[in-house]
Structure 1
Amino acid sequence: MIDKVIALYEREMKRFFRSRYMWVMILAQPIMWIIFFGSSFSQVPKEFLETFFHTTDYIAFIVPGELSVSMMMVGSFSSMSLIQDKRLGYLRRILITPTRKAAVFYAKVLGGMTRGIIQVPIMILVSLLLGVKYNVDWLGLLEWIIGLIFIGIGFSSLYGIITANTSDWQAPGVVSNLLNLPLMFSSTALFPAAFFPSWLKLVSDGNPLTYAAELGRDALLYGDPPNPLYLLYLVAFGIIMLIIGTIVIEKYLTVD
């Protein structure tokens, strides 16, 4: 099955690289977040930022969080691609061959994860051009990248699970609106947990975006040693979602 996954994954990447609009969506949105939302705290007293954000540069604080959020949001593209294949009849043609449904699912998940990882060096470069200074822990950086890979796998799998038996092109957008904003604002991607009420802190403690954002800040900003428990949580999230997705896709994936 590996050869079929690789072939389908290559198709996903070719479609991505050939689409100028997909590049605009993938790159412009997080960059605009950095420039506009990141600049919203530019006049906040540095003492306040130092006390609650542990940095004097809010853009430096937001970059790891925004990249974590981006890995979640690109998950919707994997389900969009799946639905497009259904509507164009491509999925039907694939599944009449000796190709398992799981192979199609894995290719979509890997495609969604890759779209997100491509953003990492670009956003870091943009932040450097904006004057952000990092204190990099290289082992922590490697750990964070691995964590982002697994959180991308997890959310791409989740979107595939939810849209497995529909060909409604509106479904990914609806699911995205229902999931993305609550998950983003209930994590520490944009603000520290010190700002949260007690019930929201509990939600944040179970939110994968929190662990990805904190890993990124340890790696890029604070220069702290990596926390293996954070990575373990993200790896477990990705693997569990992938396993559940495989079961759901094999049982419920429809060609129309």
Structure 2
Amino acid sequence: MYNKNKLFHKSGDLQEYLVLEPNFNQRKTRVHLATYIQEVHALAIRLIKQSIRRPSLIMTGIIQPLLWLTLFSALFQNAPIQLFTYGQKYGDFVSYGMIVFTAFTAALNSGLPIMFDREFGFFNRILSSAINSRSSIIIASSINIALSSSIQIIFIMSIISIMGQSSPHIPNYTLVISVLFLLSNSVTSVSLALAFVLPGHIELLACILMLNLPLLFSSTALAPLIFMPSWLQILASLNPLTYAIEIVRYTYLNQIIVPTSKILTNVWGEISVQQILIILLVTNCLISLLSYMLIGNKFED
């Protein structure tokens, strides 16, 4: 980008000269698909190797939901929850919520590797390297979290099956995977945005702790909506975890999935399977777009 300026010479002649000016508003480079895939692959492999070298994070993501499942199942085993649900015992009711909570917790911690790279200076080396698209950093982080959470979810689902809970039919696994993917991708986008905005890992861990348990208790993971006071029912109706939990619970308890089936009654009325999928999809798109814009602005700073 340049501007033409005019200059009067001493002789009186009018001369033109060019002044080069950088254009900060347009920073687009043409990235070939093969190059983009190569960048994502290299960054994802690096994050996966980090996860393998630090298996404690994956183990914690497995142990924590199991502790919740064991403690709450024992604490509320005599709760008359079958009067307001599909005739389930409390252990059955809470186990399906723990599957969603496992994916949620793994996605919420996805910003920690980026934050540690920022603090140790390695992230600046990545930015100064010859990468063509900085969005490959975000995609690679999402792939790493998807693989880690998949391992944790498989363990939790296997343990639930060993405990005697029913398993969804094979065709229904597609719906479960889709719901968990939409939820995980939304939470991963939030966590990555926080990792770029907050100054250090102390602040990021504080946000994770502040979001983790309140979102769990304000959902239907541990109790149905009818057990909650009116103000908590409103919060649970706004919580994306509630919708993901209810659709996973419905998938486990029904062999045939009917998209128009009403599976949840919140403060605004009855919600069907199809409507829940639309809610999760729209939420995922909005959060991903806002997070991408926020991260893009931080890259420009």
Given the alignment, which residue of 52, 55, 63 partners 1:28?
63
Query: Aligned pairs, how many?
Result: 251
1:11 — aligned with what?
46
Given the alignment, which residue of 283, 291, 294 partners 1:245?
291
Amino acid at match of 1:170: I
Given the alignment, which residue of 51, 68, 82 partners 1:50?
82
For the pair 1:179 / 2:211, whether they are aligned, the reply is: yes
Given the alignment, which residue of 61, 73, 82 partners 1:38?
73
For the pair 1:118 / 2:151, whether they are aligned, the reply is: yes
1:59 — aligned with what?
91
Which range is displaced more, 141-150 or 63-72? 63-72
Tell me if structure 2 keeps the 8 A contact 1:117–1:148: no
Tell me if structure 2 keeps the 8 A contact 1:186–1:207: yes
- Summarize the alignment of residues 222-237 of structure 1 with structure 2, pairs less than 5 Å apart: 222-223=254-255, 225=257, 226=259, 227-237=273-283
Considering Cα pairs closer than 8 Å and 6+ residues apart, tell me whether 1 or 2 has the greater RCO: 1
1:104 — aligned with what?
137
Distance in 1, matches of 2:253 and 2:48, equals: 32
Unaligned runs of 5+ in 1: none
- Summarize the alignment of residues 62-77 of structure 1 with structure 2, pairs less than 5 Å apart: 62-77=94-109
Q: Considering only aligned residues, what root-mean-square deviation do their CA atoms show, in Å? A: 2.2
More strand by share: 2
Unaligned runs of 5+ in 2: 1-35, 260-272
Residues 75, 121 of structure 1: CA spacing in aligned structure 2 closer, same or farther, 3 A cutoff?
Answer: closer
Amino acid at match of 1:144: V
Tell me if structure 1 keeps the 8 A contact 2:58–2:152: no
Residues 56, 147 of structure 1: CA spacing in aligned structure 2 closer, same or farther, 3 A cutoff?
Answer: closer
More helix by share: 1
Deviations 1:136-158 (A, max 9, x none): 35444321211101111100111
Three-state SS of the structure 2 residue aligned to 1:172 is helix
Deviations 1:169-226 (A, max 9, x none): 2122111122122211111111101112223222222211011100111111244625
2:236 — aligned with what?
204
Three-state SS of the structure 2 residue aligned to 1:98 is coil
Deviations 1:211-244 (A, max 9, x none): 1100111111244625122122222222222221
Distance in 1, matches of 2:60 and 2:167, equals: 29
2:190 — aligned with what?
158
2:178 — aligned with what?
146
